[in-house]
Chains A and B, each alone.
Chain A
């Protein structure tokens, strides 16, 4: 198991908090809460060691432009592929926007 921490520039705080996904084989759980304006923090807990470079590349691609709402994100990953990770993050933002954060 490995822990990775990230910080990215971001926009205004996300409109609400939400959770999506399950820590099942090949899947992950994303917890998203509103962050302080201008900054998104991501704490990753992953079952697969040694994939830091892949996480860097993936999260840089999603958050690198700095225009997503600011959030405190916790990711609990059980060996999801980068595609699944990206979809779960996008799902979390969509849910947070649509339901005002009700999980």
Chain B
């Protein structure tokens, strides 16, 4: 990106969830469902003396993308780390289920999920986990008919149970700044030690889990610049392509076979990972 482009771009990362949803949909078509004035506060956070947000950190926006009926589910990464509680997860799962019902009634509603999440909200424990499971089943049910596209722009990235939801999406779009992984760097360091994974080494973390690497390792499909127009254009492109021939999650056996070939006697480099997956997933 040149300096002029850098200054002229309209950052997607810097937008909040509501603004992201609005920017992805065609101008003037966005209608928010289960919005902040419905006052769907998390009942569990208040019991633990934490301040709640009126939309529980999830924006459900219906509208059109390039003229086609679309629902955008945007997670607000700044509120409680984008964590999935009972309400927020139910909003996403419910919206996906309604999109499926739309489809069965002849309105092919496509779905975009903007992942900015550390996974389950620990304060809501099992209810959050159950909600994530519902999101996952809803993605699998809907993607039989229309693509469900995931986007992770950063800076939170996509972790935990929601990274599994990301893996179930028909297509997954990332920026270089975004990260995708089951466990976050600090969790890995805490469990396995700094020698295994030093969570303070940013180059190591982004080298192994950043957007560029995940696309090279075929765990994501497109790496876009942090530019709202570019993110939107990529979505339009991917929806035009339709469903992938084989969904990534249906290739689990191929991915597992790659993992079995990992040389665990030394620390894997980003290049090792790329070689391993590109050989195994041709």
Contact = CB atoms under 8 A, between A and B. Distances in A.
Interface of A: 1, 17, 19, 22-25, 27, 29, 31, 33, 45-47, 74, 76-78, 103
B52 A76 contact: yes
Given A17-B37, A22-B16, A33-B37, A1 B51 contact: yes
A84 to B, nearest CB: 14
Interface string B22-38: 00000000001001110
A23 B37 contact: no
Contact of B54 (A25, A29, A46): A29
B215 to A, nearest CB: 29
Contact of B36 (A1, A24, A31): A31
B50 interface: yes
B6 interface: no
Interface residues of B, number: 18
Q: Which of B35, B36, B49, B53 has the most CB of A within 10 A?
A: B53
Contact of A103 (B35, B46, B52, B53): B35
Contact of B52 (A27, A33, A45): A45
B51 A103 contact: no
A24 B32 CA distance: 21
Given A27-B78, A103-B18, A22 B53 contact: yes
B177 to A, nearest CB: 18
21 contacts: A1-B46, A17-B37, A19-B37, A22-B16, A22-B53, A23-B51, A23-B53, A23-B78, A23-B79, A24-B78, A29-B36, A29-B53, A31-B54, A33-B37, A45-B52, A47-B51, A76-B53, A78-B51, A103-B18, A103-B35, A103-B37
Contacts of A45: 51-52
A22 B37 contact: no
Chain B interface, >50% SS class? loop
B51 A31 contact: no
Interface of B: 16, 18, 32, 35-37, 46, 49-55, 76, 78-80
Contacts of B16: 22
Contacts of A24: 78-79
Given A24-B78, A24-B79, A27-B78, A19 B54 contact: yes
Contacts of A27: 78
A25 B76 CA distance: 13
Contact of A31 (B37, B50, B76, B79): B37
B209 to A, nearest CB: 23
Contact of B50 (A1, A19, A74): A1
Contacts of A22: 16, 53, 76, 78-79
B17 to A, nearest CB: 8
A76 B54 contact: yes
Given A19-B36, A31-B36, A31-B37, A76 B51 contact: yes
The 7 residue pairs across chains A and B that have the minimum distance between CB atoms: A24-B78, A23-B53, A1-B49, A19-B36, A22-B78, A47-B51, A23-B79
Contacts of A1: 46, 49-51
A7 B79 CA distance: 28
A78 to B, nearest CB: 5
